[in-house]
Structure 1
Amino acid sequence: MVLTVIQYTEVLIEMGVQKKWGQQYKWRVITALEAIKAAGRLSLLRLTSQRMIMHPIHTERDVDPSTLADLAEAEQAVKESHWTGTRTGSTRLQLSAVLTPDVVRKPRDLVGKLSGLGAIGEYMFILRPLIYVLAMRKYGQKSWYPWFLSLAIELASRTSIKQCLSSRPSGGGRGGSGTVLEKDELKRRLWLLLYYVLRSPFYDRFTKERLHNFCESVSKKPLISLVGGIVRDYQPLWESVYFYTAGS
């Protein structure tokens, strides 16, 4: 619950603290929030017997409630999940339409336990944001050291976890590379690597100028200019608000 609240309010908290007390207090609050999140995730890792931490932490609906109002589609889905014999006219439920490995698997088996390098990799992923913030406070936001350190931890974590998952026996929906939930989480973490192009000093050295040139080149083109306008609107946030590109 605490982790969810922080994740939904951290940007607002950072902007409020920066406006009221300035940069110095802002980084203290950021460090405190990252420490709280790391402590919470470490607790979850222990409580779940070293299983990969999923995102979001709170449960989500598998079905959009708005789709339940469409009775026609629901009726069609029921028909497709049944088989009717041509000779006898009897109806049978198709098990393939309702039974999947994730349906019959116990909840605790939807995410497997991590061991060895996999567990170390998950610890690294959890602690990475806090280490990154502490490194930035020590070496400065313009230093390459925190950027490379964070990226190295991220890549090492991903490699360790993937190696652990691939060493599991295949079958039961795992395919030797993790369950469906684990694969989805790894994909999400892969997308998080894109944030590195929006973090200083890489952003200041390479990305910022290219984004500016892109916005200028599309400023007078229909439709595409809307994209350039959105990029321009978000640029100040990428440059000044840590949690917009934190990926934590």
Structure 2
Amino acid sequence: MAAEREGNFLLGLPSKLSPDMAREKLLELFERYRKFVSSNPDITSQLESSFRVVSYFIAGRFQNSSELAELVYSASNLIVLLNDGILRKAAKLKTAVSLSQRRIMTLLTVLEYVEVFAEIGAARLWGELGRWIVIAAIQLAKVALRGLLLFKYQAGIVRTPPITPLDRDADLPDAFLKSCKDKKSSEALEMEDLDQVFVKKAEEQGRLPQVTFMGTRSGRKVRSLTATPPLSMRDWKLPGMRSDSPSGRTKTVSSLEHQNLPPTPLGGLRLAGEALHVFRPLVYLSSLAVCGRSSWKPWLLSFLTDVSSLALMGDTKDLNLLEKAELKRRSLVLLFYILRSPFYDKYAQAKIILFLRLLASTVPGVGLIIEPLIGYLPNWQRTYFYNWGT
């Protein structure tokens, strides 16, 4: 009991935390997080990018790194999805779909973000049989959700993932970014005052007020250590270079206009083509269960299904930009059949590895990237959702 009281005291929590109190604490923490994200979209984007880079660095670097890399990568995508939702609500961005359809699209996006980690985790916990059970369950759920979007909500050609990350530069209104800038105006003024303080302090000590320092080799100008403000008020900008623009970046053309375009109605051959794309995973898994992984029949059947789906779409001139981009992505994904068994095992594997090793030995510095890639390639090729989840 004493240990329990001591541990709770260190955590700053009461000795007995009721469910209601725990819920209130979580809501309070989430509210603080929501306010931070909605007030700092630029800092949030930087943190998200840094988090994602960690997953690329981990992959193939040490034993059993694939699970950790996929966990970090899946978590980073989910964090981006959560932050986008917070920013959409804070900026009052409107969507052209109903709430129920939006929920289905969100659930489908979450499945596509976590499917690789779920497959690898199932293989680690329950072996090969558990892995294929999880694969089948996820694909059944995705087919059901895409079928609802296609037939019930008439969503047309659905992208992968259905909810793409928010373009923070283009999609957030200037008024919203200006409000975020206004909240920080007092801090910016304090920073300017601090710069003057550092200069005055240096003058009083009889030193040259060197606020910036230029590297002898790189030629890059950075803030000197004598002019470093407190940690809570630091930024990446040099003294006197702070911008009054809302975001500090040049605005690009907004993509929300394209995202809110109504889907092109599908009928006849196009509806059949989209249905083929939706049900293709079940066709492949069924034929794989009957014929086995070494058979060419599942590979050929899936390839013919994808090609037929694209052919049935016909001329794409009347489709909107996002639908054209999705069909272009599906066409490029056909190249993945080179990396899919049994074609990869019998024809492509030796040639790809030979090319990568030749590249690593001839181009200086590339080996630091190619060697881990070669080591990770077998694990990547064996993972179903890397190759077949597209």
Question: Which residue type is aligned with residue 120 of structure 1?
Answer: A
Which has the bigger relative contact order, CA under 8 A and spacing at least 6? 1
**Cα distance between partner residues in 2 of 1:155 and 1:125:** 9
1:233 and 2:387 correspond = no
Q: Deviation string for 1:82-107 (max 9, x for gaps)?
A: xxxxxxxxxxxxxxx99x9x94x894
1:146 and 2:295 correspond = no
Question: Which residue type is aligned with residue 294 of structure 2?
Answer: K
Match of 2:208 in 1: none
Match of 2:121 in 1: 16
Residues 63 and 214 of structure 1: CA distance in aligned 2, closer, same or farther (over 3 Å): same
Residues 29 and 76 of structure 1: CA distance in aligned 2, closer, same or farther (over 3 Å): closer
How far the C-alpha of 1:150 sits from its partner, in A, is 0.3
**Cα distance between partner residues in 2 of 1:125 and 1:202:** 21
Deviates more, 1:23-32 or 1:194-203: 23-32
Match of 1:214 in 2: 355
**Cα distance between partner residues in 2 of 1:238 and 1:42:** 29
Match of 2:59 in 1: none
**Cα distance between partner residues in 2 of 1:147 and 1:75:** 50
Match of 2:344 in 1: 203
**Cα distance between partner residues in 2 of 1:235 and 1:149:** 25
How far the C-alpha of 1:225 sits from its partner, in A, is 2.2
Gaps of 5+ in 2: 1-105, 182-242
TM-score for the superposition, normalised by structure 2:
0.49
2:259 touches 2:322 (CA, 8 Å); kept in 1? no
2:108 touches 2:161 (CA, 8 Å); kept in 1? no
| Structure 1 SS opposite 2:159 | coil
How far the C-alpha of 1:224 sits from its partner, in A, is 3.1
Q: Deviation string for 1:16-46 (max 9, x for gaps)?
A: 1111211122112211111110001000112
**Cα distance between partner residues in 1 of 2:250 and 2:359:** 45
**Cα distance between partner residues in 2 of 1:188 and 1:234:** 24
Residues 50 and 208 of structure 1: CA distance in aligned 2, closer, same or farther (over 3 Å): same
**Cα distance between partner residues in 2 of 1:144 and 1:123:** 23
**Cα distance between partner residues in 2 of 1:151 and 1:185:** 18
**Cα distance between partner residues in 1 of 2:249 and 2:379:** 47
Gaps of 5+ in 1: 79-96, 167-175
How far the C-alpha of 1:74 sits from its partner, in A, is 7.5
**Cα distance between partner residues in 2 of 1:106 and 1:7:** 19
| Structure 1 SS opposite 2:331 | helix
| Structure 2 SS opposite 1:64 | helix
How far the C-alpha of 1:193 sits from its partner, in A, is 1.1
1:182 and 2:287 correspond = no
RMSD between aligned alpha carbons?
3.1
